[in-house]
């Protein structure tokens, strides 16, 4: 499965223990269809930095995690 997490605050630090921060501000989505390659996040605020973390969980119990930071654009009024 894949686990996608995102927040306006950092979530993941590969050098820390624990590596993942917990909190009510983190949105978590689990996907069991590993062929799914696209997802649209629709509840993001304009002009905001987001931290997005994707973890792949293998059947043998292993996992691989990647994180990125993205900035949403400005909405014209």
**What pLDDT digit, counting tens, does each position of 3-15 carry?**
999 999 999 998 9
Average pLDDT over residues 23-47: 91
Nearest one of 23, 34, 27 to 5, comparing CA atoms: 27
| Residue 20 vs residue 75, higher pLDDT | 20
Number of continuous H segments (helices) and E segments (strands) in the chain: 0, 4
Average pLDDT along the chain: 92
* DSSP string computed for 52-68: EEEEEE-TTS-EEEEEE
Rg of the chain over CA atoms, in angstroms?
14
Residue 35: pLDDT band (50, 70, 90) is confident
Distance from C-alpha of 43 to C-alpha of 33, rounded to nearest angstrom: 22
Average pLDDT over residues 28-56: 91
pLDDT of res. 65: 95
């Amino acid at each position: 499965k894949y686990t996608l997490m995102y927040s306006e605050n950092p979530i993941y630090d590969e050098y820390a223990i624990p590596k993942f921060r917990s909190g009510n501000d983190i949105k978590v989505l689990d996907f069991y269809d590993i062929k799914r390659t696209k997802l649209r996040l629709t509840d993001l605020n304009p002009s905001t930095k987001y931290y997005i973390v994707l973890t792949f969980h293998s059947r043998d119990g292993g996992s691989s995690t990647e994180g990125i930071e993205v900035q949403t654009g400005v909405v014209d009024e």
